[in-house]
Amino acid sequence: MKKRYILGFLVAGATLLASCTKNFEELNTNPDKTTGEFIDPNYLLSQSQITFSQTGYDQLLFQSMWVQSLASTFNYYYNGDKYVLASAGTGYYTYTWNRAYQGYTLIYEMKQLIKDKAEYANLNACGTIMTALMMQRLTDLYGSIPYTEAAQAKYGNLTPKFDTQEFIYTDLLKQLETATATLDASKAGPTTDLFYGGSVDRWKRLGYSVMLRMAMRLVKVAPEMAKQYTEKAYAGGTMKEIDDNARVMADVNNASNSNSDVLRTPDDFREVRWGKTLIDYMKTTNDPRIPAIAEITTKNGLTANQTQTAGNNTASLQMGMPNGYTTSSIANAPGYPGATPADPAVQGDAPAPLGKYSRPRFDVYATDRGSANFIYTYGESELLLAEAATKGWAAGNAAEHYKNALTADLATLAKYNASGVAAVAPADITAYVNAHPLLTSTALEQINMEYWVTTSATFNFNESFANWRRSGYPVLTPVTFTGQYINGQVPRRMPYPTTLLSTNNANYQAAVKGMGGSDDFATRVWWDKQ
């Protein structure tokens, strides 16, 4: 894969700079010339794509359990499952922040290199779309963030100001409109593109789909702007098939999938389960994705429960675990299925309290370290268009969009791995779609519950969390536990990285004041209205 060449290029560049001592003075005094000679800006796009696509603990510890897609009884996951800080939980405030800004810095540098170079017009537009993807995730999670002054440390700005979410959304939507319209398939596309292999047409559809997603975030706080840009996105042409999914296939040799790396960690493998809220809902709809994503241990005993091997994915046996319990109290949970008894053939074995609860399927989410990182799918964009159409906006037919979305969401799982191990049979897809038409009386709930299911199944919990706050679906019962950092409600936001107090305190304080004066889990971002 092309990521292999990126790493080789960077190593080769470092070696070259170290060995060319006779030109050291010239190189040291003219860094722009060095950059221009040795860096193909296309590589910065692909490096940004893989950097941004990796999530792992960025969203597994908090967001996945806030929306009750996943659950855990272990101390480490108290952070998300029980709203109790544990195991240096505050350190994880930085993960999404750092990841997105690392990716954005690469795009920012790429844009500096290609500025005013007509031959890179398409690459520059792709950079704007990447900027929108990264900045939307950041501002959706934190609120006000460095935007207009971000990524300028190289140029002397070590304390960037924070821009408001309202400003960021307004500006990005304008930039997206301009950049996406300029994409021209008759001209050269990006040459190291990890999303689409350089297809400008697919980038154009992604650009309008990102515009759609940003617009739909604003349905409560700025409905006229939401309508305006949703209709522009639909008219421009959003994603039209699952091959338009924005995803990066990880490379086991150079950049293995961070979600797989997490779930291959012994402690995390034994501690993470699918949530009861999610699996119960999927069972009520007879969702054929259950055996694609879930499994239980095949044998009895604690040893078997912790052994990293494929389990039993029979749909009828799957059971989600409720949030809010500890390993010692889970036996008190309503409907507790009981522990699997110790295996007498294994010396020193013990019962497995979680053995009958479903975990993410090992062959899908853990075995394959070269699996997909999904960023935005065709099915998600169709769900958003379905909701827009229910409002009477010029966005097509709601029932058709919803049908397209269900079909795409079920088919997308086959794209999670090169092997297609999570594939849902075409006949099962057709039967499920036909059995679940969009109904006018429950349309909003159907659309957004499906959005939650599909983003959970693709491990895109950042998006699950954002759309839950926007739509109110699923309806969640907050966890009650001793020592919580938020009481009586599900968290609405991630606090800022604690390092900002020492590295950019004045701008941090101004941002907190502008959002109401509290940097906590209950503070709502601009578009998150009741």
Question: Given the structure tokens 């013990």, which residue do they identify?
Answer: 350
CA distance 79 to 239: 36
**Cα 126 off chain centre by:** 19
The reported pLDDT for the residue numbered 248 is 97
Q: How many residues does the chain have?
A: 530
The reported pLDDT for the residue numbered 37 is 60
Neighbours of 15 (CB within 10 A): 10
pLDDT in tens, the chain (530 residues): 333 334 333 333 333 233 333 343 443 444 444 445 678 999 999 999 999 999 999 999 999 999 999 999 999 999 999 999 998 899 999 999 999 999 999 999 999 999 999 999 999 999 999 999 999 999 999 999 999 999 999 999 999 999 999 999 999 999 999 999 999 999 999 999 999 999 999 999 999 999 999 999 999 999 999 999 999 999 999 999 999 999 999 987 778 999 999 999 998 999 999 999 999 999 999 999 999 999 999 999 999 999 999 999 999 999 999 999 999 999 999 999 999 999 999 999 999 999 999 999 999 999 999 999 999 999 999 999 999 999 999 999 999 999 999 999 999 999 999 999 999 999 999 999 999 999 999 999 999 999 999 999 999 999 999 999 999 999 999 999 999 999 999 999 999 999 999 999 999 999 999 999 999 999 999 999 97
Tokens of 303: 């040893």
User: Rounded to 5 degrees, what angle do the CA atoms 241, 415, 261 make?
Assistant: 140
CA distance 419 to 82: 36
CA distance 263 to 364: 11
Bridge partners, residue 352, by sequence: 340
The reported pLDDT for the residue numbered 530 is 78
pTM (2 d.p.): 0.93
Tokens of 126: 């792709």
Tokens of 505: 């305190």
Neighbours of 220 (CB within 10 A): 14
**Cα 205 off chain centre by:** 19
Neighbours of 362 (CB within 10 A): 20
User: What phi, psi does 167 have (nearest 5°)?
Assistant: -65, -45
The reported pLDDT for the residue numbered 13 is 35
In eight-state DSSP terms, residue 40 is: -
CA separation (Å) from 376 to 84, 205, 244, 370, 431?
Answer: 30, 12, 9, 18, 25
Question: Given the structure tokens 């309290």, which residue do they identify?
Answer: 353
Tens-digit pLDDT profile for residues 69-127: 999 999 999 999 999 999 889 999 999 999 999 999 999 999 999 999 999 999 999 99
C-alpha closest to that of 6 among 31, 37, 40? 40
Q: Contact at 8 Å (CB) between 141 and 528?
A: no
CA distance 206 to 244: 7
Tokens of 136: 């939307």
Q: Which amino acid is at 238?
A: T
